[in-house]
Structure 1
Amino acid sequence: MTETTSSASAMECWILTHDIAAFGGMTGFEVQALGVAEALNVTPVVKRVKPCAPYSWLAPWGPAAPAEGIAPPWPDLLIASGRQSIPYARMIRRRSGGRTFVVVLQDPRVSPRQFDLVWAPAHDRLQGANVLSTLTSPHRLTREKLAAEARRIEPLVGHLPRPRVAVLLGGTNAVYTFSEDAARRIGAQLAGLVDHHQAGLMVTPSRRTGEAQAHIIAEHLAGKSAFIWDGTGENPYFGMLGQADAIVVTCDSVNMVGEAASTGKPVYVIELEGGSPKFRRFLDAMYAHGAARPFVGQLESWEYEPLNATHEIADAILRGMAARRKR
């Protein structure tokens, strides 16, 4: 990073997101912010707002509702993410007299000029003098964490031959469909990796995969060198990334594809039915960078520069805060 994180560790940092139980959404907002804070070596205070109507209806454009815990003394750094957090981010920047460095993760849907730094994924095409765009999203993965998790799951997967392939299965979402026909195709291709490449498979379905789809894939891999997580105990997802020589991941999650590409290992993307212009731009950019290739049932070996948006964002924050101190 451009500045030692030891100087950043003394600053007070808030992470501001909305209450997921009240508004739904993704825990990914908070996870991304936590990843940036950890890259800065700061211990953040996490605050989750729950504005009532009509304030919640007017977000992100309207004013901030009174909220317990959102009061002076203001922090040195605020990392906000999620539509309901945006009015508070504006308010804190204004009421702190600009002393709080305000960072927004994801497109705030209002002018980026109202904040000190805005990060948005490149496929959003958000522009501005203080906008940072990267191919992938921030996360909490580090080499140390992957190594530790790889050691933790060694008793589960240590018997598998190499190359070991992590298989990360998402599922149907707003733009993609993971059908039973797709599961049959994917199951046959994964079985082929075992038969033709002598690979060992580490498979983790998600809640969106679907019981029928997961069962179909398990049937194709029955009796083969494959470990399939059954959903009990701690999720071995990170450990699989650490153990893997290559990674196969469905296309429906920008975060999963991006986390896979942070490892520097070959990433194969299973393209499902459906899609959207944003997802298409993201996948094409990953292919162009060389981090990923479409999965066609074969294994190859290649190298690329690992993608780490977390450190890029943390660097940008440190540079911005240093420039403010000089002013």
Structure 2
Amino acid sequence: MRPIRLPEPPNGSVGIPEIFEGGVNIVRRAIVIGNGFPGSENQSIGLIRALGLSDNHRIYRVIRPRGGYNEWLKWLPLSLHKVLDNLINQLLGQSRFAMKSQAKKFIPFPTQNGGIIGLSSIVEADAKHIASIAQDNFEKEGPLLVIASGWDTVSIASSIKRLAPRNVFVIQIQHPRSCLNRFDLVVTPQHDYYALTPQGQQETPRLFRRWITPREPPGKNVVLTLGALHKSDSAALRIAASEWHDELSPLPKPLIVVNVGGPTKHCRYGANLATQLSGALLNVLPSCGSVRVSFSRRTPQKVSDIILREFVDEPKIYVWDGKGPNPHMGHLAWADAFVITADSISMLSEACSTGKPVYVIGSERCTWKFSAFHRSLRERGLVRPFTGMEDLSKFWSYPPLNDAAEVASRVREALAERGWSLRR
């Protein structure tokens, strides 16, 4: 039986907290500006971990009004959305329409293991307050590192930079689609610049090219990654391997983990992909010891129903029902290979960080920058298409994807240019 394979910690000091000396030029604290969505917040936390600041950071969240009429306003800038929401509430008062909207308005945020966090336990991000913290404690605690991810966090993060430029170092994860000089660093996948490539230009009508962002190549303060940052680093996987040992280690090998996401704007699919996936899995089942299937919150019920119906009588296949602790981290640690739908950049990035075989289904259905992302993964030898003709007992490997460590190195360099450094 092949022993469990876990990624090795990166060489050097990246991601390893060390004893530090005093001084106002030492960064030893961080703040995460989140938007309540794990896919975004986990990127910031992953970078925090890679920088060795996981024991000294705090999370603030941008809280956008939700539910009812707010679903039509969510594309507006956050500040304008809040103003309109307040105005509508005042105008409508206690009308039936307002009460109906308010009944759905506050949606709790999900936690990593599938629970929920009520809004009462969330500290709302306030740029003036965070800038004041950075200024008031600068002489005692040094600079404040601010890491934000997602569209709703852009205005808060840039405001903190404007209010306390000498006391903060602000990193915006995901392209902010606006002036990049408002941040010290911008961390974004290289496929976000697909619109500037020759193929991207061909796919964009000339009339609309001036409206597509980004319109300029990445500058000095832009760090490009292949995939998405995440917090599933070597330390986290070793902990998960221990926590899930009793449940996952006895399973027959090879253990194949199947992660099913959901259709997106640029990766459209439905029941047809579910049927394709089910047939391919049944075809390769003889080469599998056991199979564990998980759905995401985005998985349409018609997709999950087809898969459940096809596998109900297969003793080798277990489908997680969404109850109890989320086995995702345990799956990453104990799997011998992965089969993942093409829609999720986060799931693919996490799986590719393990160095284990990753098979992708549905990439031919992806368009625009998603197709560029999948092409980059294949060119690096990180993934292979899942056709149902594979022998999943045959192992292959590659240098694990470690975007967080590479970004952390760039952060250290940028801090050094300002005369600052991370704690040693």
> Same fold, TM exceeding 0.5?
yes
2-side partners of 1:115 and 1:10: how far apart? 17
1:18-45 deviation per Cα after TM superposition (whole angstroms, max 9, x unaligned):
4x4xxxxx33221111111122221212
Q: Are the equivalent residues in 1 in contact too, given 2:271–2:302 (CA < 8 A)?
A: yes
Question: What value does the CA root-mean-square deviation take over the aligned residues?
Answer: 2.8
- State the partner residue of 1:23: none
Residue 290 of structure 2 aligns with an amino acid whose one-letter code is G
Aligned partner of residue 219 in structure 1, secondary structure? helix
- State the partner residue of 1:180: 271
Q: Are the equivalent residues in 2 in contact too, given 1:177–1:273 (CA < 8 A)?
A: no
Aligned partner of residue 128 in structure 1, secondary structure? coil
1:255-294 alignment, distance < 5 Å: 255-271=346-362, 274-294=365-385
- State the partner residue of 2:154: 86
1-side partners of 2:146 and 2:292: how far apart? 38
Residue 218 of structure 1 aligns with an amino acid whose one-letter code is L
Structure 1 residue 70, shift from structure 2 partner? 3.1
Structure 1 residue 265, shift from structure 2 partner? 0.3
Residue 296 of structure 2 aligns with an amino acid whose one-letter code is S
Q: Are the equivalent residues in 1 in contact too, given 2:274–2:304 (CA < 8 A)?
A: yes
Residue 79 of structure 2 aligns with an amino acid whose one-letter code is S
2-side partners of 1:250 and 1:178: how far apart? 10
Does the alignment pair 1:132 with 2:155? no
Q: Are the equivalent residues in 1 in contact too, given 2:269–2:365 (CA < 8 A)?
A: no
- State the partner residue of 1:111: 179
2-side partners of 1:214 and 1:230: how far apart? 10
Residue 133 of structure 1 aligns with an amino acid whose one-letter code is L
1:251-310 deviation per Cα after TM superposition (whole angstroms, max 9, x unaligned):
111001111000000100011674221100000000000010111121343221100111
Structure 1 residue 2, shift from structure 2 partner? 5.8
Work out which of the two has the higher radius of gyration on C-alpha atoms and give 1 or 2. 2
Q: Which structure is richer in relative contact order (CA contacts within 8 A, separation 6 or more)?
A: 2
2-side partners of 1:321 and 1:175: how far apart? 36
Q: Are the equivalent residues in 2 in contact too, given 1:81–1:105 (CA < 8 A)?
A: yes
- State the partner residue of 1:36: 47
After TM superposition, what 4+ stretches of structure 1 lie above 6 angstroms from structure 2? 51-54
Does the alignment pair 1:72 with 2:85? no
Unaligned residue ranges in structure 2 (runs of 5+): 1-11, 66-75, 83-124, 135-142, 194-216
Counterpart selection for 1:201 from 286, 291, 295: 291
Aligned partner of residue 70 in structure 1, secondary structure? helix
Structure 1 residue 106, shift from structure 2 partner? 0.7
2-side partners of 1:185 and 1:89: how far apart? 43
When structure 1 is superposed on structure 2, of 123-132 and 215-224 the one drifting more is 215-224
- State the partner residue of 2:94: none
Identity of aligned residues (%): 33
Q: Are the equivalent residues in 2 in contact too, given 1:122–1:134 (CA < 8 A)?
A: yes
- State the partner residue of 2:398: 304
When structure 1 is superposed on structure 2, of 120-129 and 259-268 the one drifting more is 120-129
- State the partner residue of 1:101: 169
Aligned partner of residue 396 in structure 2, secondary structure? coil
Aligned partner of residue 204 in structure 1, secondary structure? strand
1-side partners of 2:164 and 2:171: how far apart? 14
Does the alignment pair 1:324 with 2:418? yes
1:91-132 deviation per Cα after TM superposition (whole angstroms, max 9, x unaligned):
222322333111111101122222211100010016111111
Aligned partner of residue 407 in structure 2, secondary structure? helix
- State the partner residue of 1:17: 34
Unaligned residue ranges in structure 1 (runs of 5+): 21-25, 60-64
- State the partner residue of 2:301: 211
Does the alignment pair 1:147 with 2:238? yes
Q: Are the equivalent residues in 1 in contact too, given 2:278–2:307 (CA < 8 A)?
A: yes
Does the alignment pair 1:46 with 2:114? no
Q: Are the equivalent residues in 2 in contact too, given 1:187–1:218 (CA < 8 A)?
A: no
- What TM-score results when the alignment is normalised by the length of structure 2? 0.68
- State the partner residue of 2:190: 122
Q: Are the equivalent residues in 2 in contact too, given 1:177–1:272 (CA < 8 A)?
A: no
When structure 1 is superposed on structure 2, of 209-218 and 244-253 the one drifting more is 209-218
Change (3 A) 1:146 1:2: closer
Change (3 A) 1:212 1:156: farther
Change (3 A) 1:224 1:80: same
- State the partner residue of 1:62: none
- What TM-score results when the alignment is normalised by the length of structure 1? 0.86
